[in-house]
Structure formats: C-alpha cells, structure tokens
A and B are shown apart, each in its own frame.
Chain A
Amino acid sequence: MPEAIPKTEVAPGVGVAGAPAAPAVAVPARAWRAKRPVALWVSGGILVVLALACLLAPVVAPYDPTAQDPANAFAPLSSAHLFGTDELGRDLFSRTLYGGRLSLLVAGGGVLIAFLLGTLWGFLAATRRGLLDELLMRSADALMAIPQILFALVCVAAFGASLVNLAVIIGVLLAPSTARMARSVALNEVTRDYYSAAVAYGASPSRLLLRELLPNTTGALAIQAAINAASAIILEASLSFVGLGVQPPDASWGTLLQQGYGFLYQQFSYAFFPGLGILLTIWMLNVLVDQLGARNTAGGRR
C-alpha cells in the first residue's frame, strides 16, 4: 500500500529584501484536506463500529458461521439471512463478521510486529548513525524494492501459513517502511535539547529509546501504524485470496473472497460483502491518515 505521506507544500514566494510577500496563488494544502474535523470523527467512528462488530462477532453474529444447512444453499438476501447463505447453507452475514474478526486480528498482529521491529530498526539507525545506519537503511531499501505481495508469497511458500506466521510475515514486510519513518522522525528529535541533555546525563540506550524518543514521536508513528494497518489488511486478504493465507476451516475476508469468487454467478454477496468490508476499512483508514497527517504537520508539532 503506497504511503500516504503528505507532500510538502511550498509557501507563497516572499519578495527579496523583505518586500511584502508577492501576491501568489493561495497554497491550497488546507483546501485539499480542509474538510473540517468532521471527516476525522466520521472515519474514526466508522472504523470503531466496524472493528467492534467484527471483533465481537461471537456476540454479534446471529448464527454459528460453521453451521451448515445444505438444503438452504445460496438463499437470497432476507431478514433471516442478511447476506444470504453460501454453498453449504451457512449464513454469510455471520461468516463475514467472523471473517472480519480474523482479518483484523491478523492485520493487527502484523501492525504490532511492524511497529516493534520497525521502530527499533529506525531508532537504532538514527541514534547510531555511521555504518550501522547505512547498513540498516540499505537493507530496508532492498526489502522495499520487492513488491510486497511477491515477498509475502515467497515467505508463505517457505514458512507456511499459520495465523501466527501470517502476522509475523506481514509485520516483517511492513517493518522497513516503518523503520524509514521512525528513523526520519528520530533524526529530528535527536538534535533537540532534551535528547542531548539525556545523553549528557548518561542515560542508557534503552532509556534513550523508550523514555526520550518514543514519547515524542508517537504522532508520526501512529500515522505510520494506520498506514500499515491498511497495507496489512490488503496483504492478508491478498494472501488468503490465493489460498496462501488463512486456511479453511478458518475464514478471513480474503478467504471468503476466494470462496465467493468461485460462486460469483450463484451468490454475489459471498464475495461482495467481504470485499466491501475491506474497501470500507481501508478507505476510512486512508481518510484518517490524511486527517491526522494534516494535523500533525500543519497543526502544532512544528
């Protein structure tokens, strides 16, 4: 998933010798994202609702997702079966909810691992500089040059596709870009007074990373986490879709997409709603990132 890093905007040209700023086109950085904070709350809200509905699937879902009813296969959408039933008569609404649960869990695990690994990676590079920095960043670049899905394929082919493996693989995949971001913000902080003071005080490396750098970089890291969440969801879904992700009898949205793909003509909702779930989640995450990004650079932190 391409990074939605806000592009730096140029300030209106200032005349030479302090002459009044030459009248220029009002830079529309704000306009592009200036939809009032409504967007922030709406996107956040939708995400929370989605996440809760899915994570609480055992509570929310009307049926057991594995309960079969072959006589009732491919039942049309109705009040009894909101999304209809699949080829074995299982309720698709429940399956979709449980699917979301798995997708979010796996993706969440991946994001967590990416955060831990990537932040450490980036912070180390930023604080040590020199050869270690070069090495760490070059390896990050090399990893980032491989299209994510392909690398995921390779890893799954090698290590197998258990739920834990998937989370780890996704985490490792997202770590390099996280590392780049972490290094970049850390470099900003490392020059600040509070950091130099801590170093002068003889703070241990772990203290420097945990107590000094980390708290002051949460803004950017949170945004990166949101970006990673979107990528993680796509990755998990992509892998599951080709059968190399979440395996039956477990079913994530990607797995449902794969199964639904085989029945496109019989039951559109099979693939449609999981797809919609993915789409909606990622869309809201993107909007959230945009909103947070605008606030982070334009708002207070600089």
Chain B
Amino acid sequence: MRSYLITRVAVTLGMLIATSIIVFAVLRVIPGDPLVTRLGSTRGVSQETIDHLRHQLGLDRSVVVQYLAWVGGIPRGDLGKSYFNDYPVGTLIGQRIGATMELTILAVALSVLLAVPAAVLSAARPAGPFDRVMSALSSFGMAFPPFVAAIFLLLLFSVQLGWLPARGYVSLADDPVENLRHMVLPAISLAIIATPLILRYLRADLVEALASPYIRTAEGKGVPRRDVILRHALRNALLPGLTSVGLIFGYTVGGAVLVEYVFGLPGLGSLAVESAVKRDYAVLQSVVLLLSATFIVAMLIVDILSWTLDPRLRLRGAHA
C-alpha cells in the first residue's frame, strides 16, 4: 500500500531530475554565448570586461558545477539570476506564475464544464444525432492549435466586433471583471482543443461503463434512465476520466505558452518565449523545468487521487 506511494514519488523525482539534466545539457552544449546577447556584440569590449562578466554570471565554472549550483538552489528558492538584468529568476517566476495558473485553471474548468455534459449526452445515445455532431466537432476542435484559435478569436471578437480587449492583463486582485474580460478569449483558445480531448476520453469511459453488467442490475432495480447514467455510469467513469483531465492539464500548460504570447499575458509561457529569444538561459532553464515539473506532478497527483478513490485498489493486499 504505502510502497505504491513511495515508488510513485520516487519515479516522479527521478523524472524531474532527468528533465532538469536534459534541459540544462541542451542549453550548455550550444556554440552560442549568452554574453553576446547581454553585450550586444563582443566587438569593442575588452577581454577583461568579458572575463569579469563571465565570472559574475558564473559561466566560467565547469558545466557540472553550474548544474549543481542551479539544482542546489532550487530548494532554497534561489534559481540564479537572469543573464540579462541580474533579476533573481525566482522573483521573475513568482511575478508571472499567477497569470499562467489562472489561465490554465480557467481553461481546464471551462473544458470540463463543456465536456462532461456533452460526453453524457453522447454516450447516452451512441451513434445518435448528438453523438455524431459532437464527433465531427471534436475532430475539428482538436485540429485547432491554440495560438491559431487565439488569432482567429482576436480577429472576430476584438478586431471585427470590438467586444473584448485584444491584449493586456489586469490582475484578479485589482479588478475581477476586467481580469475576466482579458482572460475570456485566452481561456477559450485553450478550451477549443482541450474540450474535445476530455470529451473523447470521457465518452469512451462512459460507453464502457454503460456496457457493464451492473448497469443492467440497476435497470432491473427500476432505477430511472437518468440516474442510471449519472449515478452509476458517470460516477464509475469519472475515475478513469480523472486521468485524462490530468493529461489535459499538462497539454494546456504547453498550449498556454503561445496563447499568453498572443494575448500579451504576463505569464510563465510568455516569459519562456522572451527568455528564449534573448538567449537568457538562466531564466529559460528554470521556467521550462518548472512547467515540465507541473506536468509531471499533475500526473502524480492524478495517479494518487485515482488510487485513493478506487476502493478496489486501496484495499489491495488487505483482502484475499
């Protein structure tokens, strides 16, 4: 029982470490030089200054030392400083994480809200008219890369209709209404691709649940159709469905990167893009690690949740 938890957490840690090594390694194997970005070019700058800067940024240490310095600082919250402006990376991340979290949560919530009823109605009458329409819409929605969706939505709602603001961000604390007005289109952009994904998985789980013998038992008891679907099938299908939501969460984080960029939201995604353009590795490596970690940890949480919620798994080993 507990061994399952321990193994799972250990595997997660392993993956996190592996990810950090990969990210770090890729950035260090480069021929390019972050210093060039900072200075503009190395022409006209004395070797002394260059060496001094290099030492300041810690780039003269061996690669392994640099890696350990980075990773070692994580528990303390010290992720180094931006190559560009000496700003502590941790602070930068702290400033921008809010927008990303809000966007991701809104997008996933919206998707779940749309997908669950759609899945229930589709699975209730498979191959029926609603199901077919949903299937076609799903195929279409899944083909819509979030940033393309973002641009189209912008074209329609901001440029053409002028209903919603195009860019910018107002924090939730300052003005909830304005905040939402800025977040609606970004959230929809992500939901367009996330909803069909959740819908597909949930529908399949529901159909599988509905084909189970216990559904017939429920009908034989006289449980009305609506309760059969909701209380028996859906209830049982949500458990595997949980896994898909975890997955979706991970994909949404990836999609958020460009959506933030398009809408000018000050989140981690846009930070990643900016630091990549500027070759600011110090920031980039931490942001990428953080976002990857979110995905990995989300999967871990989902696994643990499923495990605790399924009475059959929990009691494994306790009964014959």
**Taking beta carbons and an 8 Å cutoff, which residues of A are in contact with B?**
2, 4, 7, 9-10, 12-13, 22, 24-28, 30-32, 34, 138-139, 141-143, 145-151, 153-160, 230, 234, 237-238, 241-244, 257, 260-261, 264-265, 268, 271-272, 275, 278-279, 282-283, 285-287, 290
Contact = CB atoms under 8 A, between A and B. Distances in A.
Q: State the majority secondary structure of interface residues on B.
A: helix
B212 A13 contact: yes
Contacts of B171: none
A238 B193 CA distance: 15
B126 interface: yes
B36 interface: no
Interface in B8-37: 14-15, 18-19, 22-23, 26-27, 29-32
Residue picked from B26, B148, B151, B158, most chain A C-beta under 10 Å: B148
Interface in B266-302: 272-273, 275-277, 279, 281, 284-285, 287-288, 291-292, 295-296
B145 A31 contact: no
Contacts, number: 178
Given A32-B135, A278-B145, A145 B295 contact: yes
Interface stretch (B112-120, B173-181, B246-254, B312-320): B246-254
A7 B204 contact: yes
A146 B29 contact: no
Interface stretch (B38-46, B52-60, B61-69, B257-265): B257-265
A4 B23 CA distance: 27
Residue picked from B22, B253, B285, most chain A C-beta under 10 Å: B22
Contact of A139 (B18, B32, B197): B18
Given A286-B143, A290-B139, A28 B281 contact: no
Given A25-B210, A268-B159, A244 B145 contact: no
B278 to A, nearest CB: 9
A279 B144 contact: yes
A145 B154 CA distance: 31
B182 interface: no
A268 B166 CA distance: 14
Contacts of B26: 151, 154-155, 158
Contact of A28 (B27, B207, B213, B277): B207
A45 B121 CA distance: 33
Interface in B108-133: 126-127, 131-132
Interface residues of B, number: 68
Residue picked from B207, B208, B212, B250, most chain A C-beta under 10 Å: B207
Contacts of B169: none
B284 A261 contact: no
Residue picked from A4, A260, A286, most chain B C-beta under 10 Å: A286
B15 A145 contact: yes
A295 B209 CA distance: 24
A283 B258 CA distance: 20
A147 B276 CA distance: 15
Contact of B257 (A145, A147, A285): A147
Given A153-B288, A290-B139, A238 B258 contact: yes
Nearest to A31: B127
A158 B197 CA distance: 33
A69 B107 CA distance: 43
A22 B152 contact: no
Contact of B281 (A9, A26, A157): A157
Contacts of B148: 237, 257, 275, 278-279
Nearest to A266: B159
A264 B154 contact: yes
Contacts of A142: 15, 18-19, 22
B211 interface: yes
A150 B291 contact: yes
A141 B258 contact: no
Given A146-B19, A272-B155, A10 B211 contact: yes
Contact of B155 (A2, A7, A31, A268): A268
Nearest to B142: A286
B81 interface: no
B258 A145 contact: no
Contact of B23 (A141, A146, A279): A146
Contacts of B216: 22, 24
A158 B31 CA distance: 7
Nearest to A148: B254
A103 to B, nearest CB: 12
B211 A12 contact: yes
Contact of B277 (A2, A155, A243, A283): A243
